[in-house]
Amino acid sequence: MLSDIEIAQKAKTKKIILRQAIMEKVLFALIPVILFSIFLFGWRILAVILVSNIFAFFTEYLFIRKKKAGKVSMAVFVTGTLLALTLPPTIPFWMAMVGAIVAVCFGKMVFGGFGMNVFNPAIVGRTFIYISFPNAMTMQWLEPFTKFPGGYLNWQNSDLITSATPMIEYGNTGKLTELPQLFLGTISGSMGETSALLILLAGIYLIITKTAKWQPMLSVLISFWVFTLLFYGSNPLPFMISGGLMFGAIFMITDPVSMPKNKYAIWIYGILVGFLTVFIRRFSLFTEGFMFALLLANTFMPIIEFVLNKAKVKK
């Protein structure tokens, strides 16, 4: 007969293995996004991803190396990869390094490590870089390659442009990028956030394989659609597939650790993120609001979920 402690330990181990498998599928879903990013901007993209992952790995390792079960989780590679893909192609390597260290240290390990974080670690790292180094995050962008073999034969495109992303262009001129370009992703932008098509396909894969829940994805997109109509009074589709919303709705908001567990709270979570994204884009100086919206929602959702549970709203 197993003791209660041994049973609890086995259950915990099984839960960890399940979460590790989920993280592997997320990385698999990111492969087409990464390959397309290399085509657009060159092999430097892969170098940034590697730098981010290496320093994310060693940061977690330093925290757990003396623990009995001192094994770095697969989740750290998801954090490192997601962080890198939200950065501009021109980001200096040392900034990606700092962002990865902050993401793992202050977004994850200070809360107790794997499975304990309140905030999405990749968003914590990106927000730190965005606030600390705004010029590197907003002022220099690359002209994408559009003809094969594109970046597969280049380290990086040498054509720099200063107001490249669709959201920055809209903020400066009021002009929206054409929908086919936005959907396919042949535009300037952060490394992994350009192609709405590939991100949608990744989302379908995550849902089919039961890696991610569809409810937070759908709720944030519906909320964004409704509030864009209210605040902008124009077609929400170009706004939806511009910037980091699609990438965040598929890969960030679905993080099983920082996402609420109550099924009603999940819908509130998505609605809140969608509303805050539109509100920040419309009324603040920031052209991209998703990262701040997600951090704010992560902050308030434990309180909202506690109230729902106290009110005995079923999970």
Q: How far apart are CA 203 and CA 155, in angstroms?
A: 29
pLDDT band at 8 (very low <50, low <70, confident <90, very high): very low
Q: How far apart are CA 302 and CA 139, in angstroms?
A: 36
8/104: higher pLDDT: 104
**Is 25 contained in some domain?**
yes
Q: How far apart are CA 286 and CA 306, in angstroms?
A: 31
Residue 13's pLDDT is 52
Least confident of 1-5, 19-23, 24-28, 219-223: 1-5
* CB 49, CB 79: distance < 8 Å: no
Residue 196's nearest CA partner among 205, 204, 207, 185 is: 185
pLDDT tens, 166-190? 777 777 677 777 888 888 888 888 8
Average pLDDT over residues 269-294: 90
**Is 194 contained in some domain?**
yes
Mean pLDDT of the chain: 86
**Is 168 contained in some domain?**
yes
pLDDT > 90? residue 22: no
pLDDT band at 269 (very low <50, low <70, confident <90, very high): very high
The upper half-sphere exposure of residue 309, i.e. CA atoms within 13 Å in the direction of its Cβ, equals: 11
First to last CA, the chain: 33
pLDDT band at 36 (very low <50, low <70, confident <90, very high): very high
pLDDT tens, 226-264? 999 999 888 899 889 888 899 999 999 998 888 888 888
Neighbours of 175 (CB within 10 A): 9
pTM listed for this prediction: 0.89
Least confident of 66-75, 88-97, 228-237, 281-290: 66-75
Domain hosting residue 157, numbered range: 4-310
**Is 22 contained in some domain?**
yes
**Is 233 contained in some domain?**
yes
DSSP string, 176-210: PPPHHHHHHT-S-SSTTSS-HHHHHHHHHHHHHTT
* CB 49, CB 80: distance < 8 Å: yes
| Number of domains comprising the chain | 1
Average pLDDT over residues 124-147: 89
**Is 65 contained in some domain?**
yes
**Is 315 contained in some domain?**
no
**Is 35 contained in some domain?**
yes
Phi first, then psi: what are they for 259, rounded to 5°?
Answer: -80, 145
Residue 6's pLDDT is 45
Residue 81's nearest CA partner among 103, 58, 49, 106 is: 49
